[in-house]
Amino acid sequence: MRTDGRQPAGAPPPPAAPPERGLDDATLVVRAREGDVHAFSELAERHQAALFRLALRMVGNSDDAEDALQDSLLDMWRRLDRFRGDSAFTTWAYRIVTNRCLDLLRRRRTTVPVEEVEERLASPTSTEHTAEVDAGLVALRAALLTLPDEQRACFVLRELEGLGYTAIAEIAGTSETAVRGRIHRARTTLAGVMRSWR
């Protein structure tokens, strides 16, 4: 085996990385608009973990989150010609996923039954501390699901995804003032629900 970084004579060349890997999002978007499926696949692969995490936090379960993500990716492919590039591709993608999740939540319109939350809270775990932490997380997830959809979207984008108010306003299709108000109301509600877990 050579240590100078050169291939031995007659050895096949190392597999080349797909050319899309080194390109920025804006270039990939241009190529994808021109029909380059590989460019769009790279965009999807590059951002799918963050988009899935957003969907999961919005809808509360992995099956619905996976469905929302797949539908969102199809929407992105179909609507790519409408992406003007005024914002980052990620902001546009977050908006599509957020809207898809809000549609799903509106159709579902169910809340977590109190009995289910109590059952989760009472489930045995290995240690008392772990049980307390797990129960607190379950209570927080359940409390998130009780927030109005628009508040939950803004709260998740700000507190769990770390986005700024301007980006959230663009994703939510509203003003920064409205975003701040929704996040404030969500925090107030969650603080009341979680008071017993302090």
pLDDT of residue 60: 86
Higher pLDDT, 192 or 37: 37
* Res 154 pLDDT > 90: yes
* The CA-based dihedral angle spanning residues 46, 49, 55, 61, taken in that order and rounded to the nearest 10 degrees: 150
Q: Which one, of 122, 106, 126, lies nearest residue 114 by Cα?
A: 122
Average pLDDT, the chain: 80
Q: Average pLDDT of 23-35?
A: 91
pLDDT of residue 12: 56
Reported confidence tier of residue 92, pLDDT bands at 50, 70, 90? very high
* Res 8 pLDDT > 80: no
Which amino acid is present at 85?
Answer: G
Residue 154 burial class via C-beta count within 10 angstroms: exposed 0-12, middle 13-18, buried 19 and up: buried
Q: How far apart are CA 72 and CA 113, in angstroms?
A: 28
Q: How far apart are CA 148 and CA 157, in angstroms?
A: 14
Q: How far apart are CA 173 and CA 101, in angstroms?
A: 15
Other CB atoms within 10 Å distance of the CB of residue 19: 11
* Res 4 pLDDT > 70: no
Higher pLDDT, 196 or 36: 36
Please state, for a pLDDT cut of 70, what percent of the chain lies above it: 74
Regarding pTM above 0.75, the answer is no
* Res 115 pLDDT > 80: no
Higher pLDDT, 123 or 177: 177
Residue 91 burial class via C-beta count within 10 angstroms: exposed 0-12, middle 13-18, buried 19 and up: middle
Reported confidence tier of residue 49, pLDDT bands at 50, 70, 90? very high
